[in-house]
């Protein structure tokens, strides 16, 4: 397994790392009325204003002090892509140069933000582009909040009704920061997104799933399964060697019992690897009697030329076979396929292009 050591997050004084109570007590400690915290929150979270100088109802002294001690976010837009289906993807550069992707996905009256939780990822799933960069660091809660604010105020949709931690990184591997970000997304004076509209998507880290079940949050849990036997799952997802299916599925059942929330299992279909009718029967068998949902996703990302999606008919047959077990199962097409919206793809193509450009430059 990869080592647990992470680099320090550089934005120590990002105001987005503070909740309203923390900011109020800080302002009080500066000898100013604590209610200014509410005003600052209104500027940032309701109006999307990140410049302290523009917060016109704050006393000048407070604006100066804020400018001196804090920044309000620090991402820079590197590139943006708009898909024909409305999916909009942003490649953002962080203060230390690290790059993340954040995606706005509008659909039937809702706008879902796909939030990254780490720069790179340690887990090296075979079908995932993010895994190929290796791990660089955890994002702070404030950096994740800035992704959400970016989507709400600067995307074409200018809205954010739902959030899924499904961008690059494994959210439960950055547990404390992600949970703080979830609480800020959920807070009335923060982004005010209902807990049931927030989803954490995990590759199956069992201790953290158990811990999450005890948080008293009504958030959704989505678990990447991608195979119904340990041999295949370990091949696709090395994390399975540490947390095999025989332990993972019961941990998910416990999560369901403890929180009352339905668990969703994601299953990327890859031809010849996990897409046969026998695989479908195995999947139905391990989930039988479990009040859960299954999302089947025909493979999209092109990390490994040996991995391809099944034919449409094979996907449909797989779905039917799983449905026989009584588990609700749907086929989900990936959104934004024309703009490389699968996790890590835009960053990957950007780095290829920049790299190619550099070579070009060097030659001349
Ligand atoms: S699928 Fe998730 S856990 Fe696996 S390598 Fe990609 S980002 Fe990491």
| Atom nearest to 170 CA in ligand 1 | 3
Domain 15-69 annotated CATH 1.10.150.530:
yes
Q: Is the CB of residue 195 below 6 angstroms from any atom belonging to ligand 1?
A: no
Selection from 74, 76, 78, 77 nearest residue 350 by Cα: 78
Cα 225 from Cα 229, distance rounded (Å): 10
Pairing of strands 135-138, 118-120: antiparallel
Q: Is the CB of 198 under 6 A from ligand 1?
A: no
Catalytic residue among 88, 101, 321, 340: 101
Fold of 76-356: TIM Barrel (3.20.20)
Q: Is the CB of 203 under 6 A from ligand 1?
A: yes
Q: How many CB atoms lie within 10 A of CB 293?
A: 16
Q: In sequence order, what are the residues at sequence separation of 6 or more whose Cβ sits closer than 8 angstroms to the Cβ of residue 102? A: 89, 90, 92, 113, 114, 115, 116, 147, 150, 151, 167
pLDDT tens-digit profile, the chain (364 residues): 444 444 444 445 899 999 999 999 999 999 999 999 999 999 999 999 999 999 999 999 999 999 999 999 889 999 999 888 889 999 999 999 999 999 999 988 999 999 999 999 999 888 887 767 789 999 999 999 999 999 999 999 999 999 999 988 999 999 999 999 999 999 999 999 999 999 999 999 999 999 999 999 999 999 999 999 999 999 999 999 999 999 999 999 999 999 999 999 999 999 999 999 999 999 999 999 999 999 999 987 666 778 899 999 999 999 999 999 999 999 987 666 565 555 556 566 655 555 554 433 323 2
Q: What token pair was written down for 217?
A: 């949050």
Tokens encoding 328: 């609700």
Tell me the two tokens of residue 233: 């799952």
Q: Please tell me which residue in 121, 128, 292, 343 is annotated as part of the active site.
A: 343
């Amino acid at each position: 397994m990869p080592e647990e050591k992470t680099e320090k997050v550089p934005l120590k004084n990002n105001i987005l790392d503070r909740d309203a109570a923390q900011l109020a007590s800080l302002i009080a400690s500066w000898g100013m009325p604590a209610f200014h915290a509410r005003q600052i929150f209104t500027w940032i979270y309701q109006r999307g204003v990140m410049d302290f100088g523009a917060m016109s109802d704050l006393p000048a002294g407070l604006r100066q002090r804020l400018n001196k001690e804090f920044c309000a976010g620090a991402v820079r837009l590197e590139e943006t892509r708009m898909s024909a289906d409305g999916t909009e993807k942003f490649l953002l550069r962080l203060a230390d140069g690290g790059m993340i992707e954040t995606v706005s996905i509008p659909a039937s009256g809702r706008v879902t933000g796909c939030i990254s939780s780490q720069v790179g990822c340690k887990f090296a799933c075979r079908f995932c582009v993010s895994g190929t960069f290796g791990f660089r660091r955890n994002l702070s809660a404030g950096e994740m909040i800035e992704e959400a604010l970016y989507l709400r105020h600067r995307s074409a949709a200018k809205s954010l009704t739902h959030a899924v931690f499904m961008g690059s990184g494994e959210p439960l591997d950055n547990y404390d920061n992600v949970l703080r970000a979830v609480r800020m997304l959920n807070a009335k004076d923060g982004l005010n997104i209902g807990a049931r509209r927030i989803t954490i998507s995990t590759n199956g880290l069992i201790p953290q799933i158990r811990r999450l079940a005890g948080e008293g949050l009504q958030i959704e849990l989505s678990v990447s399964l991608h195979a119904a036997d340990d041999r295949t799952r370990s091949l696709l997802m090395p994390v399975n060697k540490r947390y095999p299916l025989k332990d993972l599925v019961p941990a998910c059942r416990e999560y369901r019992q403890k929180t009352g929330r339905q668990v969703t299992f994601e299953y990327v279909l890859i031809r010849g690897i996990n897409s046969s009718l026998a695989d479908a029967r195995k999947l139905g068998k391990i989930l039988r009697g479990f009040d859960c949902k299954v999302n089947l996703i025909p493979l999209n990302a092109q990390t490994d030329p040996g991995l391809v999606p099944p034919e449409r008919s094979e996907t449909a047959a797989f779905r039917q076979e799983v449905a026989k077990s009584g588990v609700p199962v749907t086929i989900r097409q990936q959104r934004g396929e024309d703009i490389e919206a699968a996790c890590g793809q835009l960053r990957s193509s950007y780095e290829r292009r920049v790299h190619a450009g550099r070579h070009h430059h060097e030659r001349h």
